[in-house]
Amino acid sequence: MKAVRIHQFGGPEVLIYEDVPDPQPRKDEVLVRVKACSLNHLDVWVRKGLPGVKLPHIPGSDMAGEIVEIGEYVTGLKTGQRVMVAPMHFCGHCAKCVAGLQNQCREFTVLGNAVDGGDCELFAAGAANIIPIPDSLDFNQAASVPLVFVTAWHMLVGLAGIRQGQTVLVLGGSSGVGIAAIQIAKLFHCRVITTAGNEEKLAKATALGADFGIDHYKQKISDEVRKITNKEGVDIVFEHVGAATWDESIKSLKTAGTLVTCGATTGPTVGIDLRHLFARQLRLLGSYMGTMGELYEVMAHVFAGRLKPVVDRTFPLSEIRAAHEYLERSQMFGKVIVNP
């Protein structure tokens, strides 16, 4: 099959579109013909070099496609079925996995991170990872959803305990997780403030449901939040930007507010004033992906049309370098997809 592999870490030039042996599915796996795979910032981190990535390596986390072969031990699925692949790897039998807490499994990793991913024509997936998709979703839409929506759902619903009527600040509202978070917060009838880097992106975030937009290059986030909330601050800050926004995110919280974070796109090292942490009774929560149960929960809303996939642009898989360059320019609103 054709696949994209990296043989060394570096810039987009290390992404090689080449022939590799077809995967041989085990008896408990199915073989999926990949029709679409979406890009995440994780793809860029992996390409630049992360511990645990063994070379050569196939990146890509979010796949949708058709089942072409079914292992002897697999029941309930059929060839030709349209499916998406849950973008996570877990052992399936440890205490955490059987409790439904796959993202706490010691083997847990995202597909395309410590294990090979979906930037290829054929992928062998465990039956537990296969989720059939309705005809209302095309493959590009289906591939755009799982990683960012399960991440945002786990952060807001699983960890922060979002409740109706709260005020939520979503950093980076034009990113994949930001777009998911805005919609999930609106599903809970929350007031949503979001940030983006230009007016066009803010207009699109507003069209998705955000009530207020802040241009994070032109305006000071915490000042605008104070104005919007009548000096009170927000109940929940949805963070993934990291060093560039951390101080503003902390300042935007109300007393006893919750900051939940899943990323550090602009850098991992931040300061924290412990006096603010305890005196203002803040809750700081770290989040990584989500569980299979949460993925099913959030997908039910996607399948019903209450949460909408947002696809920005597609590239042929053979043009993976251009797709990475486009992602790194951060001009998109929504997900970038590659098609094998």
Distance, in Å, from the CA atom of 285 to the CA atom of 258, rounded to the nearest integer, reads 7
What residues from 100 to 119 belong to the interface with Zn ion (CB under 5 A)? 105
Of 16-24, 96-104, 115-123, 243-251, which part binds Zn ion (CB under 5 A)? Answer: 96-104
- Is 88 one of the binding residues for Zn ion (CB under 5 A)? no
- Is 86 one of the binding residues for Zn ion (CB under 5 A)? no
Of 55-63, 87-95, 125-133, 174-182, which part binds Zn ion (CB under 5 A)? Answer: 87-95
What residues from 36 to 55 belong to the interface with Zn ion (CB under 5 A)? none
Of 39-47, 68-76, 92-100, 253-261, which part binds Zn ion (CB under 5 A)? Answer: 92-100
- Is 128 one of the binding residues for Zn ion (CB under 5 A)? no
CB of 102 to Zn ion, least distance (A): 7
Q: Closer to Zn ion at the Cβ: 166 or 291? A: 291
Considering only residues 94, 114, 115, 244, which one is a binding residue for Zn ion as defined by CB under 5 A? 94
CB of 107 to Zn ion, least distance (A): 6
Distance, in Å, from the CA atom of 145 to the CA atom of 153, rounded to the nearest integer, reads 12
- Is 99 one of the binding residues for Zn ion (CB under 5 A)? no
Of 90-98, 164-172, 250-258, 319-327, which part binds Zn ion (CB under 5 A)? Answer: 90-98
Of 91-99, 112-120, 178-186, 217-225, which part binds Zn ion (CB under 5 A)? Answer: 91-99
- Is 285 one of the binding residues for Zn ion (CB under 5 A)? no
- Is 97 one of the binding residues for Zn ion (CB under 5 A)? yes
The residue ranges that bind Zn ion (CB under 5 A) are 90-91, 94, 97, 105
